[in-house]
Amino acid sequence: MNGPAPPGNANAPLAKGRRDKLTGGREYSACPHSATLTEQMPRGHLHQAAVRCAYCGRHLRWLPKPETIERRRLNGFKLATLAMCDRLTSWERHFVRDSSQRKRVSPKQQEIIDRLCATYRKEAA
């Protein structure tokens, strides 16, 4: 029972030779400073900008690209419009409800949202 911890279980007993758990306070503590700097990433970078602590330089989070923000806003409008449509099937209604509660949608889910809009949007507008 005291064998090595299964992968992904940081609170399990320590494996032989490990000195500290992954959930130690030092590794995952939030930056105590409140001032931040926004650092623009170079063109073609995966992310738009990084938010860093102004005092210690610790990376705090990534900022989304403007087109990502616009796509999410447009999806919110599309899903709200679809939710008012009476002709949706049971599966489509559940899909719209579940998708509207997500922050991100996969490319396949985006295709379904676009297809549903093309089919039902004229009726709801």
Parse the chain into domains and list their residue ranges.
1-30, 34-63, 66-124
Q: How far apart are CA 37 and CA 31, in angstroms?
A: 13
Q: What is the pTM of this model?
A: 0.61
pLDDT tens digits, 8-20: 555 555 555 555 5
State the alpha helices, DSSP H only, in the chain. 25-28, 66-83, 90-100, 107-124
pLDDT tens digits, 53-94: 999 989 999 998 889 899 999 999 999 999 999 999 999 999
